[in-house]
Every structure is written in C-alpha cells, then in structure tokens.
Amino acid sequence: MDTTAVVKEKFEALCGRLDEATLRLWAAVEARALGRGGVTAVANASGLSRTTIHAGLRELASLSSGVAIAHAGSTRIRAPGGGRKRLSAKDPTLLSDLDALVEPSARGDPQSPLRWTCKSTPHLAKELQKKGHRVSQRSVCDLLAQLGYSLQATRKTREGGDHADRDAQFAHIAAMVAQSQGADEPVISVDTKKKELIGDFKNAGREWQPKGRPEVVRVYDFIDPALGKVAPYGVYDIAANQGWVSVGITHDTAEFAVETIRRWWREMGRALYPQARRLLITADCGGSNGYRVRLWRFALQQLADELDMTIQVCHLPPGTSKWNKIEHRMFCHITQNWRGRPLCSREVVVSLIGATTTETGLRIHAELDDNDYPAGIKVSDAALADLALERDDFHGEWNYRLNPRHAAP
C-alpha cells in the first residue's frame, strides 16, 4: 500500500473522533514523519489544506520549544477572538435594514420594496445587496434567526365581529346541554362538511406510497359532469361519541339536513334513547340549518310531528361555527382519515367516512343519500305561522323549540 493510501486510511479512521486542533496536529506529525513532500502527500490524502498542515507544523515546533499553545489543556478549539467575524459585527446596519424589510408593520407600507413579493431569503438578500450590504441567501437565514424570526403560516383566529351576547349564548347552550344530558335526553351537533369533488382529483395531505411512485391525479380540478360533487351532512351525538353522515349528491338544503337527522334517529338515536321526549340540536347560524332559513324550521316541525317529540334548537352565535362540537370531534377525523387519497367514487367517500375511528371510541355510520333535494323551495307566511314554535326569552331567534302538533299515527 502506498504512502498516500495509508495516510488516507488513518485520516478516515480519525477525522470523526478528533477535534479541529488535534486533527491539525496529527496531520503535521504525519507530514513531518514523511519528510520532503510530506505536506503535499498529507494534503492530497486527507483533503486538508496545506495552510492548515503548515499551521500544525508551527504548533509542533512551539510545543517542542516549550511554548504553550492557547488551546492546550482546555476545551477551546480556537484562540479567544479567533474565527471569522459575524456579518452583523462587520456591518453595523445590516440587522436593522433586514428587520425593516421583514417587520410586520411594514407589510402595509406602500414604500416597502417587498410589499407585493414573497419575503423569501433570496429576495431579502437581493434587497440588502441593493442597499450595499455583502450578504448571501444562506447568511440571511442565520440573520433572521438572530432577529427572532421563523417561518410561520397564517393562523385562523379572527372570527369577525363579536356579538355582544356571544359569551352569554355559549353559557345558555351549555346550560341547555347539561339539562338535557341530566335527563338522559339526546343532544346532537349538526353541520355540513365541505363539498368534495368526486374523481381522481388531488386531496390535501400525504399518504404512504412506494418511494418514487405517488398516486397520479388530475392537474386541474374541473368538476367531472358524470360524477359531480357530494355534500356530507353530519349528526354527532355528543354523549355517545357516535356520528351519522349522509352523503348527498344534489343540493345541500334544509330538507336534506332534516332527513339526515331523521335517518340518524331511526338507525342510531332511537335505540340509545328509547324514553326520550325531547331532542336538543346545536347548530351554527348559517347554511342549510341557519336560524333565518324558513325551510329548516318547517322541516323540523314535520319531524317533530312525525316523532311526536319536542325538538329544541340552539344556534351558535354568528362567526363561531368552528366551535361546533361536530367540527373538532368528528369532521376533523374524517379529513385526517382520507388525507392524500383521491375520492374516486361516492362509494369511496362513504367507505372512508364509515371507517373513521379514534382512540376515544368515535364510531361513524355513513350512508349515501341519492334523493333529489331541489333548491329554492319557498315557505309561505301562512305555513310559517302554522308552526308550533316557541321561542326562548333569551335570544329567541337563536333558541327555540318546535312542539309536535299531534301524536304520530
């Protein structure tokens, strides 16, 4: 084995175990032992620069003459003050100029050079270079960390205007729920999940696949006329931690919403609450189950008559739909279960929803509802006046009950 190969083998065995100073001294010892041409041989074999090896030779000479080296006997690798100076130390205005570019208050500044562009590190580096700073994209990353910045996405926290009685309405709902659950009466949370395109379309999220073989989907999300969309409407039983989802194929109307509640009661609710005389529904303020939707109250009255049961409704205050129990106890788990999978057919949607479970025992029954629910149905003033509707004293537009007008035959 030639000299270069021997030195290379030694270097590969030691480079991961020695610190910078000790490795430099080892290279100098090897070079001195090889004699003439030793520095070149060690440099070629190890990849260390000749300057580094010569520095090691000087340190060896100092050691042999009894002169102490700054790092000897300590854990410090370099002498105090050694190494390259930070850019912020050499360029006093660099940090302040960078902070002015990224500072949140400058986002609306019409004079900000990055107002209409992505604040990526290459863009920031270019703007700093225009100001006369010598800085690279990689250095901008380190400088941003020094300033306390990090990559962050937007966060959904603003809910719009707060109603003056928002907290009071939540307290009212909590009291109604506690009262119903104390009497062993059913309490459900209802809402419509986001409509989904059916077909080989991209679905957000990632799923385990063989490396380099992702599932291929369409580039454009144009609706497939043959498959269309689906509108999953859900009913979540708060006490039983069980849910029902009807997958509609036409319009998301109040009739569809109430039909979903009807199916839940017949297939799941009636067995769980055989003695129930009242059903409490919590819903948000908009959509097919909105408090202003006449057809919602009309269809609920029909259900109350059919079941011979009082139906109490409590709407969440405006702008707080994400607080609805069904959102963060059921719908979020459905979304997680079908992440990264194209919803190729209605049957796939039903199967994925029905297979959704959690460690806390959530169970969901899903069913396709292929009935036609036409949009635009009007409820007359006379039909509305005929409802057996009673409003609560506190915000009767949000809190009301529909009593059965006659016993079920």
Give DSSP secondary structure letters for 36-50.
TTHHHHHHHHH---H
188 DSSP β-pair partners: 237, 281
Distance CA 76, CA 83 (A): 12
pLDDT confidence of 67, banded at 50, 70, 90?
low
Residue whose pair of structure tokens reads 């009767």 in the numeric block: 396
User: What number is the average pLDDT over the span 274-292?
Assistant: 95
Distance CA 286, CA 2 (A): 82
What integer pLDDT is reported at residue 72 of this predicted model? 47
Distance CA 126, CA 12 (A): 40
What integer pLDDT is reported at residue 376 of this predicted model? 92
What integer pLDDT is reported at residue 73 of this predicted model? 47
What integer pLDDT is reported at residue 164 of this predicted model? 83
Q: Produce one character per residue of 223-244: b if its CB has 16 or more CB atoms within 10 Å, e if not.
A: eeeebebbbbbbbbbbebebbb
What integer pLDDT is reported at residue 234 of this predicted model? 97
What integer pLDDT is reported at residue 81 of this predicted model? 64
pLDDT confidence of 151, banded at 50, 70, 90?
confident
Distances (CA, A) of 59 to 37, 39, 55, 63: 19, 15, 6, 6
User: What number is the average pLDDT over the span 309-324?
Assistant: 92
Q: Which residue has the higher pLDDT, 209 or 79?
A: 209
Residue whose pair of structure tokens reads 């949140």 in the numeric block: 104
| Interval 179-195: pLDDT, tens | 999 999 999 999 999 99
Angle at 278 between CA 277 and CA 281, to 5 degrees: 155
Count of C-beta atoms within a 10 Å radius of residue 20: 11
Helices 137-146 and 94-102 meet at what angle, rounded to 10?
A: 80
Count of C-beta atoms within a 10 Å radius of residue 201: 19
Residues whose CB is less than 8 angstroms from the CB of residue 306 and which lie 6 or more positions away in sequence, other chains included: 262, 408
**Residue 257: Cβ-neighbour burial (10 angstroms; 0-12, 13-18, 19+):** buried
pLDDT confidence of 208, banded at 50, 70, 90?
confident
pLDDT confidence of 172, banded at 50, 70, 90?
very high
Distance CA 117, CA 102 (A): 12
Instruction: Pick from 88-92, 98-102, 207-211, 359-363 the range whose average pLDDT is largest.
Output: 359-363
User: What number is the average pLDDT over the span 191-218?
Assistant: 89
Type of residue numbered 40: T
Q: What are phi and psi of 366, to 5 degrees?
A: -120, 145
Q: Coil, helix or strand for 369?
A: strand
Per-residue pLDDT at 284 exceeds 70: yes
| Interval 72-108: pLDDT, tens | 445 556 666 666 788 888 888 999 888 888 876 555 5
User: What number is the average pLDDT over the span 203-223?
Assistant: 86
Distance CA 240, CA 284 (A): 21
Q: Which residue has the higher pLDDT, 83 or 320?
A: 320
Closest CA to 281 of 218, 238, 335, 341: 238
| Interval 323-356: pLDDT, tens | 899 999 999 999 999 998 899 999 999 999 999 9
User: What number is the average pLDDT over the span 159-169?
Assistant: 78
Angle at 17 between CA 11 and CA 21, to 5 degrees: 80
279 DSSP β-pair partners: 311
Residue whose pair of structure tokens reads 């083998």 in the numeric block: 9
Per-residue pLDDT at 409 exceeds 50: no
Confidence (pTM): 0.68
Mean pLDDT of all residues belonging to the chain: 88
What integer pLDDT is reported at residue 100 of this predicted model? 85
Q: Produce one character per residue of 275-289: b if its CB has 16 or more CB atoms within 10 Å, e if not.
A: ebebbbbbbbbbbbb
pLDDT cut 90: percent of the chain above it: 58
Distances (CA, A) of 328 to 15, 331, 336, 363: 53, 6, 11, 14
pLDDT cut 70: percent of the chain above it: 89
Type of residue numbered 13: A
What integer pLDDT is reported at residue 190 of this predicted model? 97
pLDDT confidence of 70, banded at 50, 70, 90?
low
Question: From the CA atom positions of the chain, what is the Rg in Å?
Answer: 35
Helices 121-130 and 94-102 meet at what angle, rounded to 10?
A: 130
**Residue 105: Cβ-neighbour burial (10 angstroms; 0-12, 13-18, 19+):** exposed
pLDDT confidence of 397, banded at 50, 70, 90?
very high
